[in-house]
Amino acid sequence: MDLIFQLEKLKEEALALISTAQSEKELEDLRVKFLGRKGEITMILRQIGKLSAEKKPIVGAKANEVRDWLETLIEDRLLRFKRSSFEEKLKSELVDITLPGRIPRRGRKHLITQTIEEIVDIFLSLGYWVAEGPEVETDYHNFTALNMPPHHPARSLWDTLYLKSPGEDLLLRTHTSPVQIRVMQKEKPPIFIVVPGKVYRRDVADSSHLPVFHQIEGLAVDEGITFADLKGTLEFFSQRMFGADKRVRFRPSYFPFTEPSAEVDVSCFCEGEGCRVCKGSGWLEILGAGMVDPNVFDEVGYNNEEYTGFAFGMGVERIAMLKYGVSDIRLFFDNDLRFLEQF
What residue ranges bind Zn ion (CB under 5 A)?
Answer: 268, 270, 275, 278
Judge contact between 71 and 35, C-beta under 8 A: yes
Smallest gap from Cβ 281 to Zn ion, in A, equals 7
97 residue type, one letter: I
Smallest gap from Cβ 137 to Zn ion, in A, equals 36
Quote the CA–CA distance of 117 and 67 in Å, as a whole number: 78
Closer to Zn ion by Cβ: residue 51 or 270: 270
Smallest gap from Cβ 264 to Zn ion, in A, equals 16
Closer to Zn ion by Cβ: residue 3 or 264: 264
Quote the CA–CA distance of 94 and 3 in Å, as a whole number: 53
Quote the CA–CA distance of 258 and 288 in Å, as a whole number: 10
Smallest gap from Cβ 343 to Zn ion, in A, equals 21
What residues contact 121, with CB distance under 8 A and at least 6 apart? none
Smallest gap from Cβ 248 to Zn ion, in A, equals 15
Closer to Zn ion by Cβ: residue 60 or 274: 274
Helix (H, G, I), strand (E, B) or coil at 161: coil
Closer to Zn ion by Cβ: residue 122 or 278: 278
Quote the CA–CA distance of 133 and 183 in Å, as a whole number: 9
Angle (CA) 201-121-198 rounded to 5° is 15
Smallest gap from Cβ 196 to Zn ion, in A, equals 27
Smallest gap from Cβ 279 to Zn ion, in A, equals 8
Closer to Zn ion by Cβ: residue 51 or 275: 275
Closer to Zn ion by Cβ: residue 179 or 268: 268
Judge contact between 339 and 108, C-beta under 8 A: no
Closer to Zn ion by Cβ: residue 78 or 270: 270
Closer to Zn ion by Cβ: residue 268 or 321: 268
Judge contact between 44 and 61, C-beta under 8 A: no
Smallest gap from Cβ 291 to Zn ion, in A, equals 29
Judge contact between 79 and 72, C-beta under 8 A: no
Of 332, 336, 338, which Cα lies nearest the Cα of 114?
332
Angle (CA) 170-195-239 rounded to 5° is 145
Quote the CA–CA distance of 29 and 216 in Å, as a whole number: 72
Judge contact between 217 and 183, C-beta under 8 A: no
